[in-house]
Amino acid sequence: MIGRRDSSILFATLVFALMLVTAGCGKKPQPVTPPPPPVLAPTASITANPNSIDKGGSVELQWRTGNATSATIDGLGQVDLIGSKTVTPTDSTTYRLVAKGPDGQTSESTVRVTVNTPTPQHGEEPVSLTDQQWFEQNVKDVYFDYDSYDLNASGQQAVAADAKALAQKPGWKITVQGHCDERGSTEYNLTLGDERATAVKNALVAAGVDASRIQTRSFGKEQPFCTESNDACWQQNRRGHFVLSGH
């Protein structure tokens, strides 16, 4: 039914058009309904300030869209049509703003933020490392021989490196924990742990670290790092262990 009416309308339209064409010749054109105005394309623009940062730094993104009904930024998701946001990219990143018009048309704008990764200098790590991570990487524990609190050769090397690292962080305070393996008496091992911690402290002070920055604690054999009964494990437990206690 609808089809028949459609076809009759089509037929009428064709006739009317034919009449127009024929009648148009030499005649004033009849006024017609103007076509709907074309939909304006959306616009998008995004800027970053600054667009080059060092690692760990932050950037302010600003964006603006026109004729858009929605906007997204890759990595940030749906955003306001006009807005700004502070971001801290860890790597160089291209931010792409996509504005979407009411008819589905889209427009894009991109900005690239360059993150400069400095070449690590000696003793200077990327700033993104937490202090704790830096401490663990640079202030290494000192290991001892059996029933000894004298620094052996590798112990002396470790302390020398530790002193250098600590020299870069003059505000940091540390605790040296003295630990022992499971063999021998609880009580005597507490004295041995005390002597180990003190030996490490004295060596650090001799290497120029301010004594007031260093506390010592003995743990004897009460808090072993490793609980098996073998040589490898015992060696792990005979140590001066560093703890960052304040900064």
Partner 1 sequence: MDTLEVKSQWSSGLITRDSEPQGLKPGVLNSTGGAAETAHSQGRRVRKGLKTSIFALLISVVICPVPSTAQIDQIKTGTGLGVEKVRIAVPDFKPSTADTGNADLLRTFNTTLFNDLSYAGIFDVVSKSFYPLTVPGSPQEIQLDAWGNPPPNAAMVAFGNLGKTGDDLAVQGWLFDVKNPTSPQVLGKQYREKATTDNARLIAHKFADEIIFRIGGGIPGVAESKIVYISGRTGHKEVWMMDYDGQSQTQITKMGAIALSPRLSPDGSRIAYTLLGKNGVELSMYSLELNKQVTFPRFSGTTQTAAWSPDGLKLAFSSSMRGDPEIFIADASGANPRRVTANRGGNSSPVFNPKTGAQIAFVSGRTGLPQIYTSDVDGTNLQRMTNTGYAVSPSWSPNGQFLAFAWKRNYGPGAPGGQDIYVMDIASKQWVQLTHESGVNDYPSWSPDGRHIVFESTREGGTQIWTMLADGSQQRKLTSGGHNQQPCWSFK
For tokens 């049509």, the residue is 81
Does 147 interact with partner 1 (rule: CB under 8 A)? yes
Does 245 interact with partner 1 (rule: CB under 8 A)? no
Minimum distance, C-beta of residue 212 to partner 1, in the bound complex (Å): 13
Does 220 interact with partner 1 (rule: CB under 8 A)? yes
79, 99, 192, 214: residue in contact with partner 1 (rule CB under 8 A): 192
The number of CA neighbours under 13 Å toward the Cβ of 178 is 27
Burial of 35 (0-12, 13-18, 19+ CB in 10 A): exposed
Q: Given CA atoms 7, 10, 12, 15 in this order, what sign does their dihedral have?
A: negative
Minimum distance, C-beta of residue 65 to partner 1, in the bound complex (Å): 57
Q: Total residues contacting partner 1 (rule CB under 8 A)? A: 19
115, 198, 226, 235: residue in contact with partner 1 (rule CB under 8 A): 198
Does 216 interact with partner 1 (rule: CB under 8 A)? yes
115, 129, 163, 190: residue in contact with partner 1 (rule CB under 8 A): 190
Q: H/E/C letters for each residue in 23-74?
A: HHCCCCCCCCCCCCCCCCCCEEEEEEECCEEECCCCEEEEEEEECCCEEEEC
Does 141 interact with partner 1 (rule: CB under 8 A)? no
C-alpha separations of 165 from 124, 140, 205 in Å: 9, 10, 13
Nearest to 41 by CA among 6, 65, 59, 58: 65
Does 195 interact with partner 1 (rule: CB under 8 A)? yes
Question: Looking at beta carbons only, is 67 or 189 nearer to partner 1?
Answer: 189
Minimum distance, C-beta of residue 158 to partner 1, in the bound complex (Å): 22
Does 237 interact with partner 1 (rule: CB under 8 A)? no
For tokens 């990595």, the residue is 75
Which residues contribute to the site for partner 1 (CB under 8 A)? Answer: 147, 184-188, 190-195, 198, 216-220, 222
